[in-house]
């Protein structure tokens, strides 16, 4: 019969071997875990670096998508432009939605070499709307001028929606053939109509083209937005044709002096 000392001496090497094997297994598991985490971190760094090198995500016909906005392919068009004649080309129509409730209906027209010549956006504001952000900042981006460009007011035009402010790049010389931006805001309902036009050989012609575009804008469906339907119904009562009526190139003389300057 073995003594306790002999039994302990016999089992001690086995215990050491088991502990050593367990330690090796723990070390191996930790090593694999660190390698796995390191690989994930590496992929994350590479992904962020790649995103920094990629161009802004764009739809086929419009400006870069802003954070939170996504194309709503299944949403039906809510607005349209009455055609001047049967040969007029149909504009591209893209709808963007935001989780905050906002919706942008964007129509764009292109000319030679698919160069944008005009755009119209109806923005129904949601909780994402930033009251501190100048509206002209988004307008400059629509016009393809970039995020740092500034605009100055270029008068007012009369439309069925009332007076609409016009904008041009700051420092544009009088008589220069710059594209014109436009902006009309409504507090109730919370709505913003904006866009730009490069159509026409003269500034009066471009102002008239914008007025014609807005006068032709109609609503196809309001959904459950009765205030929006009321806005367009009231505007239709004031709608005019696109034929020149008196002076289509009018500016508010007294007010126009206050519209100068960069925004």
Q: How far apart are CA 97 and CA 125, in angstroms?
A: 10
For the chain, percent of residues with pLDDT exceeding 70 = 63
Chain segment 24-69, per-residue pLDDT in tens: 676 667 667 766 666 665 566 655 444 444 334 444 444 555 678 8
* Strand ranges of the sheet holding 180-186, from the earlier edge strand across to the other edge: 70-71, 92-97, 103-110, 116-124, 191-197, 180-186, 162-169, 151-159
Q: How far apart are CA 32 and CA 53, in angstroms?
A: 32
pLDDT at position 15 is 65
| Lowest mean pLDDT across 25-29, 92-96, 114-118, 154-158 | 25-29
pLDDT at position 242 is 80
pLDDT at position 86 is 57
Q: How far apart are CA 55 and CA 61, in angstroms?
A: 15
Q: Which of 205, 214, 138 is nearest to 177 (CA)?
A: 205
> Could you tell me where the DSSP H helices lie in 101-177?
135-142
Chain segment 85-101, per-residue pLDDT in tens: 655 666 799 999 999 99
Sequence-distant (6+) residues with CB within 8 A of 202 are 177
Of 129 and 147, the structure prediction assigns the larger pLDDT to 129
pLDDT at position 252 is 43
Report, in angstroms and rounded to the nearest whole number, the Rg of the chain calculated over CA atoms. 31
Which of the four pLDDT bands, split at 50, 70 and 90, describes residue 171? confident
| Lowest mean pLDDT across 52-61, 143-152, 220-229 | 52-61
Chain segment 242-263, per-residue pLDDT in tens: 865 444 444 443 334 333 333 3
Q: Is the pLDDT of residue 133 over 50?
A: yes
pTM of the shown model: 0.67
| Average of per-residue pLDDT across 185-209 | 90
pLDDT at position 58 is 43
**Structural domain boundaries of the chain?**
1-54, 70-259
Q: How many CA atoms lie within 13 A of 125 on its CB side?
A: 16
Q: Are the C-beta atoms of residues 189 and 228 closer than 8 Å to each other?
A: yes
Output the CA–CA distances (angstroms, integers) from residue 62 to 92, 94, 252, 254, in the order listed.
9, 8, 32, 36
């Amino acid at each position: 019969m073995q003594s306790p000392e002999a039994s302990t001496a016999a089992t001690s090497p086995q215990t050491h071997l088991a502990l050593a094997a367990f330690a090796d297994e723990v070390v191996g598991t930790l090593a694999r875990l660190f390698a796995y985490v390191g690989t994930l971190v590496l992929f994350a760094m590479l992904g962020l670096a790649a995103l920094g090198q990629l161009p802004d995500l764009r739809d086929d016909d419009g400006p870069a998508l802003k954070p939170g906005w996504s194309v709503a392919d299944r949403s039906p068009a809510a607005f349209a432009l009455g055609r001047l004649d049967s040969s007029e080309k149909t504009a591209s129509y893209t709808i963007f939605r935001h989780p905050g409730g906002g919706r942008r209906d964007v129509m764009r027209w292109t000319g030679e070499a698919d160069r944008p010549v005009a755009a119209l956006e109806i923005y129904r504001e949601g909780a994402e709307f930033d009251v501190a952000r100048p509206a002209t900042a988004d307008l400059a981006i629509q016009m393809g001028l970039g995020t740092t460009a500034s605009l100055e007011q270029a008068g007012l035009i009369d439309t069925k929606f009332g007076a609409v402010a016009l904008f041009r790049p700051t420092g544009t010389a009088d008589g220069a053939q710059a594209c014109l931006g436009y902006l009309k805001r409504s507090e109730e309902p919370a709505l913003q109509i904006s866009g730009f036009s490069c159509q026409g050989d003269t500034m009066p012609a471009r102002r008239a083209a914008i007025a014609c575009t807005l006068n032709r804008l109609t609503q196809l469906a309001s959904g459950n937005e009765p205030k929006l339907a009321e806005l367009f119904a009231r505007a239709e009562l004031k709608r005019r044709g696109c034929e020149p009526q008196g002076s289509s190139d009018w500016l508010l003389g007294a007010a126009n002096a206050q519209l100068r300057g960069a925004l």
